[in-house]
Amino acid sequence: MRPQVTLRRLEEMKAGHEPIVMVTAYDYPTARVAERAEVDMVLVGDSGAQVVLGYDSTVAVSIDEMLVLARAVRRGVRSAFVVCDLPFGSTEVSDEQAVATAVRFVREAGADAVKLEGGGEARLSRIRAIAAAGIAVVAHVGLTPQTAVALGGMRAQGRTADSAARFAREAVAVQEAGASVLVIEAVPAEVVDVVLPALDIPVIGIGAGRADGQVLVMHDLLGITEGKTAAFVKRFAAVGDEMAGGVAAYAAEVRSGVFPGAEHGYTANEAAVAAARDALATPATD
Ligand code: KIV
């Protein structure tokens, strides 16, 4: 069996310029797929709000819903490092609230680390508090979908002087606050490249150049997500079409009477068939 991926291993991979592979998963089957593909990190992302729960945005998902997804993923992952997103509203009130939420994800779902979006003052305080509680923190800067409205929408960050400066400051600040890993979303590679030398922790990019590793949403890369996806998504398969084709073929066979065939059922001897017939013909005595 593959050895457990630990924070130490992720740091070694960074030092050895070995690209780190991270992918999202939201249930047992997708966790098994990620594990069989031998990815290094599995993220139970709050993107699950949209891709598996059908909400319009990530802000709608609750702690309890995320915990259900996280527990199912944990059951399917043996060796990859499991990170759980802390959903919107579960850390905003205070450091105490953030620590209590992080503890739930570790204790109730077996998370190896929790992920927290943003790099402003309040976020830094949350990162410090969670790290001080002994829980590994994955920070997330650049485009942060939970607060995208405040950022002007779901758009790339770091493309203007002000935005690039803010991104650079936040990336370094989350590291100083105690984050163990950093996810950078939707920031031009040239801007990320300026900041990378200042970062000792493993940096995972999504639409942010090469960094130390990459993350993509499982349903995007497999082609399950319907409609337009972000520019940084590459489709590696057409699983959604394959699934729809399979269900359509099943429906067609049920409707035409081809399915089920005799081979999809069970056999009984003549006595059993006769007994069923007699039972209908004879009034019940009890
Ligand atoms: O929720 C998520 O899937 C994420 C990744 C896009 C990094 O945060």
- Is 110 inside a domain boundary? yes
Tens-digit pLDDT profile for residues 143-152: 998 887 777 7
For ligand 1, say whether the CB of 45 is within 6 Å of any of its atoms: yes
Phi-psi bin for 141: left (phi > 0), alpha (psi -120 to 50), beta? beta
Helix (H, G, I), strand (E, B) or coil at 176: helix
Q: Whose CA is nearest to atom 5 of ligand 1?
A: 45
Res 150: pLDDT: 76
Which residue of 41, 52, 115 sits with most ligand 1 atoms within 8 Å of its CB, as the best mutation to test the pocket?
115
Cβ(236)–Cβ(242) below 8 Å: no
Tens-digit pLDDT profile for residues 166-211: 999 999 999 999 999 999 999 999 999 999 999 999 999 999 999 9
193 belongs to an annotated ligand binding site: no
27 belongs to an annotated ligand binding site: no
Q: How far apart are CA 207 and CA 67, in angstroms?
A: 27
Residue 42 Cα, ligand 1 centroid: separation in angstroms?
A: 11
117 belongs to an annotated ligand binding site: yes
- Is 266 inside a domain boundary? no
Q: How far apart are the first and last CA of the chain?
A: 58
Would the pLDDT of 20 be above 70?
yes
203's CB contacts (< 8 A; 6+ apart) are 14, 181, 182, 183, 184, 192, 196, 211, 212, 213
CATH number at residue 159: 3.20.20.60
Given the DSSP bridges, would you call strands 113-117 and 81-85 parallel, antiparallel or unpaired? parallel
Which run of H or of E encompasses 234?
none
What is the largest distance, in Å, between two alpha-carbon atoms of the chain? Answer: 88
Q: What is the pTM of this model?
A: 0.94
Res 286: pLDDT: 66
Measured from the CA of 185, which atom of ligand 1 is nearest?
Answer: 7
Q: Span 238-249, mean pLDDT?
A: 98
How many domains, in total, are found in the chain?
Answer: 1
Which residue of 59, 183, 187, 234 sits with most ligand 1 atoms within 8 Å of its CB, as the best mutation to test the pocket?
183
Q: How far apart are CA 50 and CA 237, in angstroms?
A: 20
- Range from 129-143, 144-158, 209-223 carrying the lowest mean pLDDT: 144-158
Helix (H, G, I), strand (E, B) or coil at 94: coil
For ligand 1, say whether the CB of 24 is within 6 Å of any of its atoms: yes
Tens-digit pLDDT profile for residues 24-80: 999 999 999 999 999 999 999 999 999 999 999 999 999 999 999 999 999 999 999
Q: How far apart are CA 127 and CA 169, in angstroms?
A: 15
Q: How far apart are CA 51 and CA 47, in angstroms?
A: 6
Residues of the chain with pLDDT > 90, as a percent, come to: 93
Helix (H, G, I), strand (E, B) or coil at 224: coil
Question: Which amino acid makes up residue 161?
Answer: A
Domain assignment of residue 15, given as a range: 7-242
- Is 203 inside a domain boundary? yes
Please list the active-site residues.
185
Q: Whose CA is nearest to atom 8 of ligand 1?
A: 45
- Is 58 inside a domain boundary? yes
- Is 151 inside a domain boundary? yes
